[in-house]
Amino acid sequence: MTRKALVPAGLGAAALAATVLLAAPALAATTTGHSQFDVYFPGQKPATSYYVDNIATQKDGTIAGRSRLSWQILDDQAIDLSKRFTSFKITSRIEERLTKDGTDNVYSSKTCDLTKLVNDNYTWFQDEPVNNCAAPSALYDGEVFWSSDSTIVYDIEGDGKGAITQELQGSPLIHG
């Protein structure tokens, strides 16, 4: 083969390699922010620790965000087994920001009512759809900084204080 024949073959191989690189899927990334808060109930109801993981996952050209709730009673000598909450709702969000230190903008959100689940179970550490709240996913843009975040609003049965809002730790940013 002459030198002139090798040049087009080399350019063709380089073009093919560039096409394969551009067509290759981006690496998946997952980040998780952890929060914990304790709730003390009136009467003899057991105090409980609640844990929330805000999880952001970038995969296959999308960004997904979900909030996973788990909990356990602090004193295993539960005396009063009655209803603990009149309401317990979590709002999971996918947030975006244009710069690393910019302001978060909510891209999508979903509110899930977990009142029955937390009232019916004194402890829960399973990772199942019933204790996860997922915001609608978005098309991933690597120029934007993405995260998953959430807020819980709960109303304790019989305390007379009304709804309490608990802001939670968002996931670390995903970018690039």
Which strands sit side by side in the sheet containing 62-73, from one edge to the other?
29-39, 48-59, 62-73, 132-139
**pLDDT value at residue 27:** 62
Q: What is the pTM of this model?
A: 0.83
- What DSSP string runs through 30-89? EEEEEEEEEE--STTPPPEEEEEEEEEEEETTEEEEEEEEEEEES-S-----S--EEEEE
Query: Could you report the per-residue pLDDT of 15-66, keeping only the tens digit for each?
Result: 433 333 333 345 689 999 999 999 999 988 889 999 999 999 999 999 999 9
